[in-house]
Chain A
Amino acid sequence: MSHLADAPAPATGQVMASTPPGPRGEPDHAADSSRLAHRSRAQTKVRWELLRNLVRKDLKVKYKGSTLGFAWSLANPMLLLVVYTFVFQIVLKAGIPRFGIYLMSGLLIWNAFSGSVSAACGSVVANANLVKKVRFPLAVLPLSAVGFAAVHFLLQLAVLFVVILVLGYHLLGPNLLLLVPAGAVAFVFTVALSLLVSALNVRYRDTAHLLDVALLAWFWVNPMVYAFSLIEDRLHEWTWVYLLNPMAVVVISFQRAIYAPPAGYSTGHKAVLPHDGYRFYLEHLAIAGATSLALLWIGLQVFRTMQADFAEDL
């Protein structure tokens, strides 16, 4: 685009501005047609800058006039941490040590996922005015919802790290590297589902309601408020069915990466985390990654097919 930067419309009038009215035309420079094609594509391609602007816009709209609101959205999970620790560890005696940290290490990524998907679901409908008036790459709408949630997630994760370090628990180590593949799988899966539901919701407006219910149920099939070992105890050799859910794999991987159980809780029948090593996680992440990629392909196909009718359905 840089070569276009010197061709703005206003008064400078770069092209033929001095030609008297009458027969017009433009000298046919060779680059002309490819220039037009390039500019044409620029209006339909997902560009990073556009995504960034949209995320910034969402943040601006959401936290308009309140920096406190933003700080609150970061502090919110930490408050949950305190409440849940109290309820589960002291009142219910759930038997998971450092329950707050355990919960948060899984819950943050889950919240990012469910927040992205439900925001993306309404994103096209909410921007009907743009969709019906401007030609732009529509996929930026659900993608910016993912970006918006990702920004919060990263900041909340940073806050969690600070809390862990302040409490003096173990955090820094090779375990953190597990966040990279787990985060990647979570990202692909979130994008895939976001594209899918955002497109479906334009035509089938009850998608949003169904999604809400589904997310509510889905929350409980991830080992966030209970230990994964509980599932292994019940399902035995059928545990793999439970792990078909990519989010469950992501959640246990995040826990493995962030949560360090005190000595005595890492192995044996009291183990909170399924495995001490990394192999188990990496293997399951690979499967979950494959599932996510397949879903991404479906999501893209559905979005590509349905987006042409968005303006009509809105």
Chain B
Amino acid sequence: MARHSSAYQRGSAFPLPAQPPPAPEPPATVAGTGIGTAVPGAGQPGQPGEAGGGSGAGVGTETAVVIQAGGVSKRFVSYRNRATSLKERFVRRGGPAGEDFWALRDIDVTIGRGQTVGLAGANGSGKSTLLKVLAGILRPSSGSVSVHGRIASLLELGAGFNGELSGRDNVYLNASLLGLSRREIDRLFDSIVDFAELRHKIDDDVKHYSSGQYVRLGFAVAVHVDPDVLLVDEVLAVGDEAFQRKCLAKIAEFREQGRTILFVTHSLDLIEQMCDRVLVLESGSMIFDGPPAVGTKLLRQKLGSLPSDGPVDWQYATVRPQSVMFSHQSGGPTTVQFDPGEQVVISVELDVTEGAPEHVYLHTYIVGPEEIAIWLMETPPGGFRLEPGRHVVDFVVPRLPELLGAFAVKVHVSDAATGVPVTTRRFEELFGVSGSHAGGLLKVGYEARLRG
């Protein structure tokens, strides 16, 4: 994954007389896109574990991978660590070291031709950064990115316009930067202006445009330059209702034309409505890559708009209760049959991924028939400190009470520091306790007397 593609990064794609032209693109006909395609025998490029089976977003066969990012991380060097003048560069070396900031951590994503992908996450989670890295505007600190085809991007409040120029000149300039010839722009110009509905303003300086007008023009240019990949960063929010509808219609049209769209939005409804797939970022890590229905549910919970006990599907959680085992001794052979008074060890196996809480707290319920909780076992206060990887938590019950029946285990995972729930899993596995009494869950001491 450390391969560096020279496909388009700014650092490397600067063909000059003295320099050989950039190496030809790797063949874009690589069949398997890793997005749940049904291409037989196609290698599945590394998808993050979180994606699990969830990345099959129900998209038909693709012919080409359009965006491929492998192990992409982005570190922003703290301002204090960076010389900002030549004087500093040569005079004052090694000032106080500041903390560098990782805005993206090890992102793997493969997007095939024709997919519409939503990118979601809290403020500051790295969405815009990821989009800029994919657009070739920021260089990833590590990892590789390759994008095939013409990219049109609308990043944070609009295309790059020059305020001193009229709308008309900006359209020409922008389209020219995006790779169009003058003749092509001439042909598209009217269509662009009509789409933006700015004919009366087109000869005014762009600095006098309202933010909505600015975005209208930017969007109109971006969709008219015949892009293969359209990257949009929550700019639509600025447009009025009518224009938003128009943009969404355009995006829908693009979907049908088999273009690739990646857009950032905070509107979960929009994701459910428009996307084939959603990527969710949290503190720079991709915590989810899969179908919108699941992703939005996860997001709603992350953002606190779902009740906190509404479970995140355990498969998509950062701490995944993988399995539960029963035995007499810690590490001993597993069994499912116990007698009252015996020792039982209930072992919960956890898969901890990047982005998990540092201290993990478990509530483990032993549930009986009708999901009645029989008893509760918790981790010590403060939880367990778990590194990413696989861990087993043993709950040792020295003497089983006088029980009768089959019991299951339900595990609640939460962040020990904040109490925020992570996930819940109710395991299907049962263990049986064969109490000596004839019926009922529990054997208690009693006497039967007739009064009087």
Query: A residues within 8 Å of B by Cβ?
Result: 1, 4-5, 7-11, 13-17, 19, 21-28, 32-37, 39-47, 49-50, 53-54, 57, 60-61, 64, 127, 129-139, 200, 203-207, 210, 296-297, 300, 303-305, 307-312
Could you tell me the distance between the alpha carbons of A114 and B254 in the complex, rounded to whole angstroms?
Answer: 48
A129–B162 touching, CB < 8 Å: yes
A25 touching B25 in the complex, CB below 8 Å, given contacts A134-B178, A204-B86: no
B226-A7 in contact (CB<8A): yes
Expressed in whole angstroms, the Cα–Cα distance for A312 and B81 within the complex equals 14
**B residues in contact with A206, CB < 8 Å:** 85-87
Complex contacts, A46 vs chain B, CB 8 Å:
14-16
Q: Please name all residues of chain B whose beta carbon is closer than 8 Å to the beta carbon of A50 when the two chains form the complex.
A: 176-177
Distance (Å) between the CB of A145 and the closest chain B CB?
A: 15
**A26-B179 in contact (CB<8A):** no
Given contacts A40-B149, A308-B139, contact A33 B64 (CB under 8 A): yes
Cα distance, A210 to B90, chains bound together (Å):
14
CA distance in complex: A4, B227 (Å):
11
Q: Which of A23, A39, A297 has the most CB of B within 10 A?
A: A39
Can you list 10 A-B contacts with CB-CB less than 8 angstroms, sorted by A residue number? A16-B256, A42-B150, A42-B179, A44-B22, A50-B176, A61-B164, A64-B164, A135-B137, A135-B153, A311-B137
Task: Give CA–CA (A21, B257) in the complex, Å.
Answer: 10
B256 pairs with A10, CB closer than 8 A: no
A123 → B minimal CB distance (Å): 12
Nearest 9 Cβ contacts at the A-B interface = A23-B60, A308-B11, A33-B28, A133-B160, A37-B25, A130-B160, A308-B139, A44-B13, A36-B149
Shortest CB-to-CB span from A8 to chain B, Å, is 5
Q: Size of chain B's interface in residues, with CB distance under 8 A?
A: 86
Given A53-B176, A311-B132, is A25 in contact with B86 using a C-beta cutoff of 8 Å? no
The answer to whether A37 and B84 touch across the interface, beta carbons within 8 angstroms, is no
Residues of A within 8 A of B177 (CB): 50, 130, 134, 136
Q: Give the chain A neighbours of B187 by CB distance below 8 A.
A: 5, 8
Selected from B83, B150, B191, B228, the residue in CB contact (under 8 A) with A10 is B191
- Residue among A35, A42, A53, A133 with most chain B CB within 10 A: A133
Q: Is the CB of B178 within 8 A of A21?
A: no
* Chain A hits for B88, CB < 8 A: 204
B136 at interface, CB cutoff 8 A:
yes
Nearest-Cβ distance from residue A99 to partner chain B, whole angstroms? 38
User: A61-B164, A203-B82 known; 13 other A-B pairs, CB under 8 Å?
Assistant: A1-B184, A4-B184, A5-B181, A8-B188, A11-B191, A23-B59, A25-B60, A39-B149, A40-B150, A43-B136, A300-B16, A304-B12, A309-B139
* Residues of A contacting B13 in the complex (Cβ-Cβ under 8 angstroms): 41, 44-45, 137
With A and B bound together, what is the CA distance between A35 and B432 in angstroms?
A: 65
CB of B196 closer than 8 Å to a CB of A: no
In the bound complex, CA of A64 to CA of B10 (Å): 32
Known contacts: A13-B257, A25-B60, A210-B86. The answer to whether A53 contacts B226 by CB under 8 A is no
Are A129 and B160 interface neighbours, CB within 8 A? yes
In this complex, the member of B158, B172, B176 whose beta carbon has the largest number of chain A beta carbons within 10 angstroms is B176
Contact of A43 among B114, B139, B179, B224 (CB under 8 A): B179
Of residues 250 through 306 on chain B, the ones whose CB sits less than 8 Å from some CB of chain A are 253-258
Pair A37/B148 contact, Cβ less than 8 Å: yes
Contact across chains for A134 and B159 when beta carbons are under 8 A apart: yes
Residue B427 interfacial (CB < 8 Å): no
Q: Which partner residue on chain B sits nearest A133 by CB separation? A: B160
**Given known A10-B224, A311-B138, contact A204–B10 (CB-CB < 8 A):** no
Contact residues in B for A203 (Cβ distance below 8 Å): 82-84
- Are B25 and A136 in contact (CB-based, < 8 A)? no
A35 to B149, CA, bound (A): 7
B71 to chain A, nearest CB (A): 17
* Chain B residue contacts of A305, Cβ below 8 A: 11
Task: Closest A residue to B176 by CB, please name it.
Answer: A53
Q: List chain B residues, Cβ under 8 A from A138.
A: 10
**In the docked arrangement, what's the CA distance between A133 and B235, Å?**
13
Name the residue in B25, B174, B183 with the highest tally of chain A Cβ atoms < 10 Å from its Cβ. B25
Q: Using Cβ atoms and an 8 Å threshold, which residues of chain B touch A139? A: 14, 16
Task: Establish whether residues B84 and A40, one from each chain, have CB atoms under 8 Å apart when the complex forms.
Answer: no
A26 touches B113 (CB 8 A): yes
B253: contacting residue among A1, A17, A53, A200, CB under 8 A: A17
A residues within 8 A CB of B138? 311-312
The answer for the CA separation of A207 and B88 in the assembled complex, in Å, is 12
B261 → A minimal CB distance (Å)? 12
Give A15 to B31 CA distance when docked, in angstroms: 20
Q: Which residues of B contact A13 (CB under 8 A)?
A: 253, 256-257
Question: In the complex the two chains form, what is the Cα distance from A206 to B90 in whole Å?
Answer: 12
Which residues of chain B have C-beta atoms less than 8 A from A311's C-beta? 132, 137-138
Contact call B29/A28, Cβ cutoff below 8 A: yes
Does B225 sit within 8 A of A, measured CB to CB? yes
A64 to chain B, nearest CB (A): 7
Known: A1-B181, A9-B226, A26-B114. A133 touches B137 (CB 8 A): yes
Q: Roughly how many angstroms separate A296 CA and B17 CA in the complex, as a whole number?
A: 11
A137 — which chain B residues lie within 8 A by C-beta? 13-14
- CB-CB < 8 A to B137: which residues of A? 131-135, 311
